[in-house]
Chains A and B, each alone.
Chain A
Amino acid sequence: MKKNDFILIAVILIIAITALLGQRFLLGGNPDSPMVVVTIDGVEYGRYPLDEDREERISLEDGSYNVLSISDGEVQMKEASCPDQICVMHRPIHSSNDPIVCLPNRVIVIIENGEDSSIDTITN
C-alpha cells in the first residue's frame, strides 16, 4: 500500500469514529440504550431516554391526562385522571416486559432495550 492509502484509511477511520461518538453522545443517545416509549391506543406518542430525568404530561383530547416521571433510571406514572389509579400504583419500572398500563386512558408505557431481555413475557 502507498502512503496515500494510509492517509485515506486514517481519515475514514476518524470520520467513522467521530460519527459513532456523535451518534452516541450528541444526537439523542445510543439507539441501543433503554428508551421509555409511550403509546396511546396503539399509536406512538413519544419516546424518551431512560437515563435522562424528566416529567412529561400526556394530555388526551377529552381532557384526561397522565403525568410520567423519569428519574434515576426508572419511570413511573406520577399522576393520572383515571378513576382506578392502577397505573399510578404500579411500581416504577426500569426493565422490559413489565409495562405500565392505564386502561381508561389507553396509555401504555414500555421500556425498549431494558434489562431482563431473557424474559419473554410476564403474568399478573
Chain B
Amino acid sequence: MGAGVICALIFSGCSNAPAGVNGSNFVNTENSTSFFAMDTVMDLKIYGSEDLLVEAESKVNNLEDRLSVTNPESEISIINRDKIGRLSKESAEILEGALEVCRDTDGALDVSIYPVLKDWGFTTGEYRIPEETEIEDLLENVDYKKIAVNNAKDGSATVEIPEGMEIDLGSVVKGYTGQMLAEYFKENGVESAIINLGGNVQCLGKKPNGEKWNIAIKSPFLESKSGILGVLKAEDTSVITSGGYERYFEQDGHIYWHIIDPATGSPANKGLASVTIIGDNGLRGDALSTALFVKGFDEAIQYWKDHGDFEAIFVNNVGDVFITEGLEGNFELSSEYVAAKLTIIKK
C-alpha cells in the first residue's frame, strides 16, 4: 500500500505532462515562428493563435515582393529601371515616412544612397574600396529631394526619379514591418508579442506575467565577451539599433562599415559606435537610428532635444553610454559594462 503511493509519486514526478492546461484559454497559448525574409531572420513570438503567425509571414513576404531591390519585378525595381513607376498604397506610405525623415534630418538619411552602397559591395558581400572619383560621380545622383511623388486619390502614388538614381527602402522597411505586425496582432486580440526582425525589435504589450520585456542591447565592440551592453525594460514600443559593427570589412588595418554618410559617400564616422531608438513609430525609429548615427553625437543630441518624441541610447567610440531621460530606471548596463560611464541626457 505504502509502496504503491511512493511508486505513484515517483512516476508522476518523472512525467513531462504540461504544467498548465490551456485548452480553454487558447488565446494565451505561446506560439512562435522563425523564417528568412527581407535579407534577414525574423523571429515572431505571440501569445495567441498560430494562424496569426501564418498570416503574418505571408504579409511580410507580400511586402518584400513589392519593395525588394533584388526582386526585378518589385515596385521599387521597376522605378529604378524605368525611372518612373507606381507604388501601391502601403509602399507609398513607407516611402513618404522615409522621405519625412530624410527631410527632417537634412539628408543624414537618404533613400537614394543605394548605388553608393552597392559600389562598396555592402549589398552583396563582395566588398571593395571605391576610387574617390567613382564616389563623386555616384553622389551626383544621390539626392532624395529629386524624388517626385504624385499621390493618387486611392493612396497609391506615381514616383519619378532622375536618370542615374536608384532608391531603396531597406533602411526603414524592417521598422515599418515590425510595427505593422504588432498592429495586426493587436487587432486580432493578441495582448502580448515580441517581434525581432533581424535585430529590429517590436514589442506588443508586456509579458503574459505582467512584467516588461527584457531587451538586450548588443555591444558595438568586437572584443566584448558577453556581446551585451545592457538590458532595457520595455513595453508596447519599437527598439531599433544601428551600428557599424553590424556589417563591415577590414582592409589594410582600416574598418569600413555599411552606414554610409550621404554627404561623403564613405562610412559615417562621427564618433558614435551605436544608436538605439525607442519609440512608438517603428519606421521612424529604424530611419532615425541610421540618420542619427550619421549625424554624430552632438547633432544627434540636438535632434532629440528639438523633437523629443522618442527615447535613445547612444554609445560613443570610447564606450561611454548616454541615455535620454525617459529611460531612467528602465536601462541597466550588463555586468561586463558595469564600469562604463553612463550619462542621462536631459532636455
Contacts and interface: CB of A to CB of B under 8 A. Distances in A.
Contacts, number: 104
Given A1-B2, A84-B125, A116 B228 contact: yes
Interface in B220-243: 222, 224-228, 231, 239-241, 243
Interface residues of B, number: 46
Per DSSP, chain A at the interface is: loop
Interface in A50-101: 82-86, 89, 91, 93, 95, 97-99, 101
B17 interface: no
- Which of A5, A13, A82, A91 has the most chain B CB atoms closer than 10 A to its own CB? A91
Contacts of A85: 125
B10 interface: yes
A116 B335 CA distance: 11
A94 to B, nearest CB: 9
Interface in B186-244: 194, 196, 199-201, 203, 207, 213-218, 222, 224-228, 231, 239-241, 243
B41 A101 contact: yes
27 contacts: A1-B1, A1-B3, A12-B10, A13-B10, A42-B36, A83-B126, A84-B124, A84-B125, A86-B125, A86-B247, A91-B222, A98-B216, A103-B40, A116-B226, A116-B228, A119-B215, A119-B216, A119-B228, A120-B194, A120-B215, A121-B215, A122-B201, A122-B215, A123-B215, A123-B239, A123-B276, A124-B243
Closest 6 CB pairs of A and B: A84-B125, A83-B125, A124-B199, A124-B218, A122-B216, A123-B241
Interface of A: 1, 5, 8-9, 12-13, 16, 41-42, 82-86, 89, 91, 93, 95, 97-99, 101, 103-104, 106, 108, 116, 118-124
